[in-house]
Amino acid sequence: MAPFIATGTMIRAGGATIQANLIAATDGLYALTQATVAQGRRTSELDGFAPFVVLGAELARDMAIAAGQPVRIGDAVRMDDQVLTVIGVLGPAFPVPLLSLDLDRSAVIPFRTARRLVPDPQITTVAARLTPGADDRATAARVADYFQARLRPGGVQVQTARQLVDGLEQQMRVYGLLLLAIGAVSLVVGGVGVMNVMLMSVMERRREIGLRLAIGARRRDIRTMFLTEALILATLGSLLGTGLGTLAGWLFAEASGWSFLAAPLALPLGAGMALAVGLFFGSYPAARAARLDPIAALRAE
């Protein structure tokens, strides 16, 4: 378990002022966040009120760029009109959404040193890791009851990793439904486009249809002909849309520095859905063409 105080601060480096997160924490923070030390050492309970600071990887890099030289152990750093000594630099770390921590952009000081920099050094968060097999819901309820009985006036909010995951899954479901609605509208619009093109084709080719019927073509042959044309149109559209969509996704991933990996079922399902929509919306023009009267069709201009 590790209590910590989190706030914002301004660090002067060279002629620039850099905004950073200030974290006053006990030793347990490093174990909870699995933070590694690239240079020097980390803060300790033995530091007491000493003006020491450990810099995050990105923060140290920005300070080095602003000052024109790399950050070294023992350098003096001015932070909110206080001078602190750099005793360590952390390695790259992943953000911790559950604790709202980004150690790469943070300056970590000993817990008691917060009295030097924070006007009202009140604990903002207490982070803890459960033992394997523990019931997180029951533990969270007991922790909340424990603090509620002692924090009067005031309150406490207990959040577990499971609650964070559940919240993210709920957001993904909402995004999935939103994308489903957008995709459904796009399919309907595309299907209406296919139907309009096929209806125009039926109107322009009435003499051809009448001639085919007059020389012995069956109505199902006419229907099959126009359904085939609708499938060809839908196939070309699905191939073009799949190619453009994949290219747009790849370009966005490259621009964002992400790795691109298409879902195995996304491409065949997308193309198959486009074909199904083309067949569904092309069935009405095909049926209308098959129902034309040969005599009336031959008289058409």
**Per-residue confidence (pLDDT) for residue 117, from 0 to 100:** 86
- CA–CA dist 75, 39 (Å, integer): 13
**Per-residue confidence (pLDDT) for residue 171, from 0 to 100:** 92
**Per-residue confidence (pLDDT) for residue 300, from 0 to 100:** 62
Q: Is 119 exposed, middle or buried (0-12, 13-18, 19+ CB in 10 A)?
A: exposed
**Per-residue confidence (pLDDT) for residue 150, from 0 to 100:** 79
The one-letter amino acid code at 153 reads P
**Per-residue confidence (pLDDT) for residue 154, from 0 to 100:** 67
Q: Please give the chain's pLDDT, 301 residues, in tens.
A: 888 898 888 888 777 788 899 999 988 888 888 889 999 999 988 998 999 999 999 999 999 988 888 889 998 888 878 889 999 999 998 887 777 788 899 999 999 998 888 888 888 888 888 888 888 888 888 888 888 887 766 678 888 888 888 888 999 999 999 988 998 888 888 888 888 888 888 888 888 888 888 888 888 888 888 888 888 888 888 888 888 888 998 999 899 888 888 878 878 887 888 888 888 888 888 888 888 877 776 766 5
**Per-residue confidence (pLDDT) for residue 301, from 0 to 100:** 57
pTM: 0.61
**Per-residue confidence (pLDDT) for residue 86, from 0 to 100:** 92
**Per-residue confidence (pLDDT) for residue 55, from 0 to 100:** 93
**CB contact at 8 A, 290 and 220:** yes
218-227 CB burial, b ≥16 within 10 A, e <16: eeeebbebbb
**Per-residue confidence (pLDDT) for residue 268, from 0 to 100:** 83
